[in-house]
Amino acid sequence: MKRHHWLSMLALSVLSAAVSANQPLEQGPAGSEMAVFAGGCFWCTEADFDKVPGVVDTVSGYIGGDAVSANYPQVSAGGTPHIEAVAVFYNPAETDYAALVEAFWPTIDPVTPNAQFCDRGPQYRSALFYADEQQQQILEQSREALANSGKLSDPIVTEILPQTAFYPAEDYHQNYYSKNPVRYHFYRSRCGRDNRLKELWGAH
């Protein structure tokens, strides 16, 4: 959770520099580690991860394409290879990568390909990204365990992909749920996200 004001200010300066220079984001607050997840609309994925203990910052952005086309008009229209995603920065003394993966699953629809809720197209598909072989193994084991758990009646289509350059989204997308709470809640409700999650995972 974004509990520490000075950490958020530091992350904001790093983010602003990356956005203005259209450069990949590779680091967050000092001492934090980075993980990337795609769960459809990045507003919602960012809001969900900000509730997870040990998460110190989150950044909405794009992964899977180049810097030139990493912008909302092109990505949202499906005109690039990018996927909407969120970079999650976490304190390794409080949580770990495996715990974040387990927290991620109940926030998405892992059985619908090339879409999440009302957002359609491969730019909104669900995916987990690994930075090394250890993370890849964690992801594959987690997906297999979920598939064998009997919790889902359909096959899991969420992809496991290598982590490539992550480009921060435009400033107005960052922390959208807290900057524009009325619009955010209207979008989330209209999109049917929480109803579908309840259908898939039950009440939490």
Handedness of CA 108, 166, 92, 4 (dihedral sign): negative
41, 44, 118, 191: which one is catalytic?
41
**CB contact set of 158 (below 8 Å; sequence gap of 6+):** 108, 110, 125, 126, 127, 128, 143
State how far the alpha carbon of 156 is from the alpha carbons of 165, 182, 193, in Å: 25, 32, 18
Does the active-site annotation cover 41? yes
State the SS3 of 43-97: HHHHHHHCCCCCEEEEEEEEECCCCCCCCHHHHHCCCCCCEEEEEEEECCCCCCH
Q: Under DSSP, is residue 172 helix (H, G, I), strand (E, B) or coil?
A: helix
Token pair of 72 as six digits: 């909302």
Token pair of 58 as six digits: 């989150």
Amino acid at 122: P
The set of catalytic residues is 41
